[in-house]
Amino acid sequence: MRAVRVHAYHEPPQLEEVPEPTIQGPHDVIVKIGGAGLCRTDLHIIEGQWAEISGVALPYTIGHENAGWVSEVGSAVTNVAVGDTVILHPTPTCGLCHACRAGDDMHCADSTFPGIDSDGGMAEYLHTHDRACIELEDGTNPQDVAALADAGITAYHAVRKAMPLLHPGTHCVVVGAGGLGHIGIQSLAALTATEITVVDPNPEALELAEQIGAHHTVLADGSQVDQVAEISHGGAQVVLDFVGEGGAEKQAPSLLRNGGSHFVIGYGGALDLDTIQIVSREINVIGNLVGTHNDLAELMNLAQRGLVTLHTQTYSLDDVHTAIADLENGRIRGRGILVP
């Protein structure tokens, strides 16, 4: 089968022929990929930022946002059958450790992360686990929902965590209306009564934000802090930073009112905030990693009810380098999807 493989960091991945995965254990599932999302994390992988954290051995297949059709199952699999359409939670988990038992399965003590620490889904087939599979309604096209497996669940998880802070009369600022942010905006609109302001340097992204639930949009042209202060009457209770690099992470605290919370979702940059500012203003800085199996199941419920729609741009596996270049240069509105 064909697969997109990283052979060396700081070099473009290669599309090449590799053996198809096979069933290795009773709970294994082989999925024929119908769509694999392209994420900024894939760019960070190619840059080597995940090398030490993941411990992955090169070469390997990237792609951690995956949906498709069940092709083969192990002897103990009962929740899905051959032919089912599925979306895959990005981290197959053990189900037995404390984190899994507590419903915090994204911190499973014995999970894997296909596309990060093992072969992922930018290929024709993917080896996964029955605990990662969520069955979708008949007729669902995997390429239409694939990126909800990571971008979607990550954005939704952050909104779920912020919900107790976002009662009626509050204000939430969304930084970045791209692949992550446009899902976060819709999740906020579906789950909360907060007032939503979106900040982005791209007018087209702001236009999309207005269409999917933003009450206000602000062009990031250097005046965004003052504009947000005026719109929110002194700053937001919550900032959801879906960018986390390029300076966006440094402006986020300035968009908050005292006692506010900065949710860091995008990454790649570094925070530089004096501790006296954190203490005197009682600012909270909160990290966010993917989401739980239940988060993904809830998000798919919203998606299949039409409350969250993934805006995508599709590419064939042959066009993977074009897709990567488009993502790097901000030419993708929403999420890029590779379709084998």
- Per-residue pLDDT, 23: 98
Are 130 and 35 found together in one domain?
yes
Are 271 and 302 found together in one domain?
no
Average pLDDT over residues 78-105: 95
Whether residue 332 is predicted with pLDDT greater than 90 in this model: the reply is: no
- Per-residue pLDDT, 334: 82
What dihedral angle (degrees, nearest 10) is formed by the CA atoms of 248, 269, 166, 296?
120
Chain-wide mean pLDDT for the chain?
95
Are 182 and 104 found together in one domain?
no
144: containing domain: 2-150+293-339
> How far is the C-alpha of 127 from the C-alpha of 28, rounded, in Å?
7
Q: Is the pTM value of this prediction over 0.85?
A: yes
* pLDDT, tens digit, 9 for 90 and up, residues 152-167: 999 999 999 999 999 9
Average pLDDT over residues 64-88: 97
Using DSSP's 3-state secondary structure scheme, residue 189 falls into helix
- Per-residue pLDDT, 138: 86
Whether residue 330 is predicted with pLDDT greater than 90 in this model: the reply is: no
Average pLDDT over residues 52-58: 92
What dihedral angle (degrees, nearest 10) is formed by the CA atoms of 212, 217, 222, 224?
-110
Average pLDDT over residues 298-318: 93
* pLDDT, tens digit, 9 for 90 and up, residues 252-273: 999 999 999 999 999 889 998 8
Average pLDDT over residues 307-312: 92
Helices (H), the chain: 40-46, 51-54, 98-101, 142-145, 151-162, 181-191, 203-211, 224-232, 248-251, 275-281, 293-304, 320-328
- Per-residue pLDDT, 158: 97
Are 182 and 128 found together in one domain?
no
Are 157 and 256 found together in one domain?
yes
- Per-residue pLDDT, 272: 87
- Per-residue pLDDT, 202: 93
Are 92 and 182 found together in one domain?
no
- Per-residue pLDDT, 322: 97
Are 276 and 297 found together in one domain?
no
Nearest of 189, 228, 187, 219 to residue 201 by alpha carbon = 219
Supply the angle between the helices 151-162 and 181-191 in degrees, to the nearest 10: 40
Are 110 and 179 found together in one domain?
no
> How far is the C-alpha of 319 from the C-alpha of 158, rounded, in Å?
32
Structural domain count, the chain: 2
Contact between 177 and 206 (Cβ < 8 Å): yes
Whether residue 333 is predicted with pLDDT greater than 90 in this model: the reply is: no
- Per-residue pLDDT, 242: 96
Q: Is omega for the bond preceding 164 within 30 degrees of 0, making it cis?
A: no
Whether residue 57 is predicted with pLDDT greater than 90 in this model: the reply is: yes
* pLDDT, tens digit, 9 for 90 and up, residues 120-179: 999 999 999 999 999 999 889 999 999 999 999 999 999 999 999 999 999 999 999 988
Place of tokens 């954005």: 155
Are 176 and 94 found together in one domain?
no
Are 12 and 145 found together in one domain?
yes
* pLDDT, tens digit, 9 for 90 and up, residues 271-292: 988 999 999 999 999 999 899 9
Contact between 217 and 210 (Cβ < 8 Å): yes
Phi, psi of 129 (to 5 degrees): -130, 150
283 backbone φψ class: left, alpha, beta (φ>0; ψ -120 to 50): beta
Are 104 and 221 found together in one domain?
no
Are 8 and 129 found together in one domain?
yes
Residue 202, domain CATH: 3.40.50.720
- Per-residue pLDDT, 110: 93
